[in-house]
């Protein structure tokens, strides 16, 4: 499946009477990179696409929503999960929902020992709730750190800067629900 993300960004930006410079200011992405993405000269990283989508007030799923699709199967089989891999992390995110175009994001996250979801603390609108299925996870926030072991769960206000770090000696598997979606 080929999706023309660049033209979708350009169309949405223009429909909002927004210049590339305006989008650059709102997203923190350089005008040059936005221009290259819009002309399909560069494929945006998940992080860049997330910032652009926030600047345009849409979810990342907006760019993957194709018209005239067959109805979506509500079941996501274990071996058919869509994987999201970001440039700034070795964490593997697997969608537990059919696609990114939902009101809630439901993720299966695998983090190897010593790795984390991001290098820096991040924040976004909404809230999230997670449970550790295997391993040991440090939830580092701007205010306080929390250690979760197998079976432990946590609720976070996503506007509090945070990140997840595997502090165990085996892969950490956790399941997270986030609303509104952050990818």
Residues of the chain with CATH 1.10.260.40: 5-64
| pLDDT at res. 45 | 78
Residue 3 has what pLDDT? 62
In three-state form (DSSP H/G/I as H, E/B as E, the rest C), the secondary structure along 88-130 is: CCCCEEEECCCCCCCCCEEEEEEECCCCECCCCCECCCCEEEE
- In this structure, of 14-18, 83-87, 115-119, the range with the lowest mean pLDDT score is 83-87
Please provide the CATH number assigned to the domain covering 78-179: 2.60.120.10
Intervals of CATH 2.60.120.10 along the chain:
78-179
pLDDT over 90 (residue 123): no
Q: Work out the burial of residue 172: count CB atoms within 10 Å of its CB; fewer than 13 is exposed, 13-18 middle, 19 or more buried.
A: buried
- The whole-model pTM stands at 0.69
148 contacts 135 by C-beta, under 8 angstroms: no
**pLDDT for the residue numbered 103:** 83
Mean pLDDT of 158-166: 94
The CATH topology of domain 5-64 is 434 Repressor (Amino-terminal Domain) (1.10.260)
From start to end of the chain, where are the E strands?
Answer: 83-85, 92-95, 105-111, 127-134, 136-141, 145-149, 153-157, 162-166, 172-179
Compute the distance between CA of residue 135 and CA of residue 130 in angstroms, rounded to an integer. Answer: 13
Q: Is 167 left (phi over 0), alpha (psi -120 to 50) or beta?
A: alpha
Check if the beta carbon of residue 86 is closer than 8 Å to that of residue 45: yes
Residue 71: pLDDT above 80? no
């Amino acid at each position: 499946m080929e999706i023309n993300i660049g033209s979708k960004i350009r169309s949405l930006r223009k429909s909002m009477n927004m210049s590339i410079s305006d989008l650059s200011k709102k997203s923190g992405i350089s005008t040059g990179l936005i221009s290259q993405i819009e002309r399909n000269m560069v494929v945006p990283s998940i992080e860049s696409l997330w910032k652009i989508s926030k600047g345009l007030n849409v979810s990342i799923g907006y760019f993957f929503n194709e018209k005239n699709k067959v109805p979506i199967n509500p079941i996501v089989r274990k071996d058919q999960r869509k994987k999201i891999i970001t440039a700034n992390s070795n964490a593997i995110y697997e969608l537990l929902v059919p696609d990114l175009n939902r009101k809630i994001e439901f993720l299966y996250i695998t983090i190897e020992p010593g790795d984390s979801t991001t290098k820096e603390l991040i924040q976004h609108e909404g809230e999230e709730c997670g449970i550790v299925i295997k391993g040991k996870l440090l939830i580092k926030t701007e205010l306080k750190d929390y250690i979760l072991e197998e079976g432990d769960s946590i609720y976070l206000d996503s506007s509090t800067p945070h990140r997840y770090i595997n502090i165990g000696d085996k892969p950490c598997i956790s399941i997270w629900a986030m609303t509104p979606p952050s990818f």
